[in-house]
Amino acid sequence: MEIRYNIINVAEILSQVGKEDIANSIDFLVKQDMKKYYTNSYGIHSCLRDFLNNVSGCSEDEVMKNYDILDNFVKNLDSEKFYDKNIDGIDLTYCLEASKNQKLMLTIVDNMNTSQANKLFSERFSDKLFNILENGKFSDGEGRLFAVDLNRYLSSNFTKAFDRNFDAKECDGDFEVSYTPKGKPTITTDSNKWCKQGRAKSKFVKAMKKIPFRYEYSSKFYEQLNNSVVAAYSLNISMSEVSGRDIVKYYNEDQYKYGDSSSLGNSCMRYDSCSDYIKFYAKNEKCVKMVIALDTEDKLVGRALLWTTDSGRKVMDRIYGSDVVIEKFKEYAISMDYAHKEEQSYNNNSGWVNKDGLFTEYYDITVNNIYTMPYMDTFKYTNDLGSDEMILNNEGGDYQFSGTDGCTEVYEEGDENYVICARSGDRISRDNAEYIDAHGDYYSSDYCVFAWDSDRYELENDCVYLEYRDIYVSENTDVIYIDCSQSKRYETYVLLDDCICLEDGEYCLVDESLHNYIDGTDLFISGNIIEVSYSDSLGNSWKQEICDEWYENDELIEMIQVSVREEVTVIDLDGEIIYKLLEVVND
């Protein structure tokens, strides 16, 4: 295992193997230091020496005292049992056996090639948290210490033994952090994103205290950090109405908040290539504006077209943005006495909501035809395609504007080559859709996977991925979860039919188990398979395979002696005689 060493992790390793005095010296120097980031080294000696060469505050007596303690330790590092000078690293076997907390030790050293399932934080959460910690009031003292303490874990693999996968999103109410609780598997989508299934929620401070930090932090610090984090995640936007060329401007993804993964960030008309089609709205200022929401950096986080119908009614079309932003737009519409669309999707074109509640209505909107039309969600129908002035409506017509290429080709209503995705509400080609029997509707192929057990397509969220077979099965199939204690190769869900129940009630894959004829049990192959042969005093002999991790030699000898009725005369383990009966001859 390739390991990278961070000075705080080194302190933890030393503490785990009983070198508390040295670990305390490192802790003291880290707390006195002014560094905001500690790099990872490929060697433990080089990590310690680099730290000593750059630590600040060495003019003070107490600092110098701890500096000297650590310096002398480094000079004599070769004599330490935990240290392997051939690799300038730890003797992993020794450290795991000597450690006070094996699970934490494994997490500290397993810090290369972090898997998505084992990440401590999502990137968006860690990025925002570190941006807050770089703020002046957190740049030194406990804030600096918290940052370096947390940073060392960002490349570590946190297994099921820990709470992990911490994430947070903007909210318009009580701010909470979601995470995968220890003991539960991380469930990911086909695109390797964390699913909501199996996750728990917690207040920010309580969530942070679930992380095995090296250092303790005061209640005052946590309170200040909590206030800053809650403020950063609380929705702070300004809303306004734009028209003309500003609609073209704010449709373009260059204006979007970076990394937006909501319906806004996935809008099909956000590209530069669509600008000529969006000019349709600029040419029709008399009947269409756009409501926009900007964050504190003037980046777009939400938008919705605002139509003035031929009857004079103002209606807000489909809202693009996160769930929290969408709610803000609805509140805005009601406050302005507008109606907003009931469902934020391509379908259900007649459902509206105003201050009096839900209602159904069809509207006409007379517009100037520029002959290259954008994709439209609601007022997409017309009978006047060839006219300079045409009437759009939300009920139906000979043509509808449902393409993303300027609608030079229009699609007739009822075209069987197209369906509506029940999740996104978008009109999509039948070739890119699957009919899901369980839901009785069509869904984009992006949301579907082929389920091995049912032999048909199912929604990915209704299925379980089996890594060891590289297949999906429906959620009703009998599966269990195995981890690294039950498999040498996988940490995943497996089919129950592919498993065997062990003596301790745990399951493992059949091909990772072996029947132990000595005691008649099935056991997990936790190491290498070796051969044991033995004979008794009557000349009977046996030969079988066992795992080298199952027994110490003394235990194996005892187990064989118990299992054989006659006296055991010889036991050979992998070509080496480990027991031989001594014959006593009386004179």
Q: How far is the C-alpha of 464 from the C-alpha of 171, rounded, in Å?
A: 29
Residue with tokens 């070739």, as numbered in its chain: 431
Summarize pLDDT for 173-210 with one digit per residue, the tens: 678 899 999 888 898 887 788 988 888 888 899 999 99
- Please state whether beta strands 288-294 and 238-242 pair in parallel, antiparallel, or not at all (unpaired): antiparallel
Summarize the confidence of residues 566-584 as an average pLDDT: 83
Half-sphere exposure of 116 (CA within 13 A, CB side): 10
- Residue 278: CB atoms within 10 A of its CB come to 21
Q: What is the pLDDT of residues 495-504, one digit of tens each?
A: 888 888 887 7
What is the reported pLDDT for 409? 44
Residue 571 DSSP SS3: strand
Write the burial class of residue 91 (CB in 10 Å: 0-12 exposed, 13-18 middle, 19+ buried): middle
For the segment 140-148, the average pLDDT, to the nearest whole number, is 90
DSSP string, 414-459: T-TTEEE-TTT--EEEGGGEEEETTTTEEEEGGGEEEETTTTEEEE
Task: For the chain, give every domain's residue range.
Answer: 1-112, 238-415, 527-580
In three-state form (DSSP H/G/I as H, E/B as E, the rest C), the secondary structure along 346-374 is: CCCCCEEEECCEEEECCCEEEEECCCCCC
Reduced 3-state DSSP string for 529-559: EEEEEEEECCCCEEEEEEECCCCCHHHHHHH
In tens, the pLDDT along 387-413 reads: 889 999 999 888 888 776 665 444 455
**Dihedral sign from CA coordinates of 211, 213, 216, 220:** negative
Top mean pLDDT of 54-58, 191-195, 362-366, 487-491 is at 362-366
Segment 267-297, tens digit of pLDDT: 878 888 888 889 999 999 999 999 999 988 8
Structure tokens at 332: 């805005």
The angle at the Cα of 176, spanning 174 to 178, to the nearest 5 degrees, equals 150
Measured distance CA(317)–CA(375) in Å, rounded: 13
At 30 the three-state DSSP class reads: helix
Residue 415: CB partners within 8 Å, gap ≥ 6? none
DSSP state at residue 187: P
Asked whether residue 364 carries a pLDDT value surpassing 90, the answer given is: yes
**Mean pLDDT of all residues belonging to the chain:** 86
Give the global pTM: 0.50
- The pLDDT-based confidence of 48 (bands split at 50, 70, 90) is very high
How many Cβ atoms are within 10 Å of 431's Cβ, its own excluded? 8
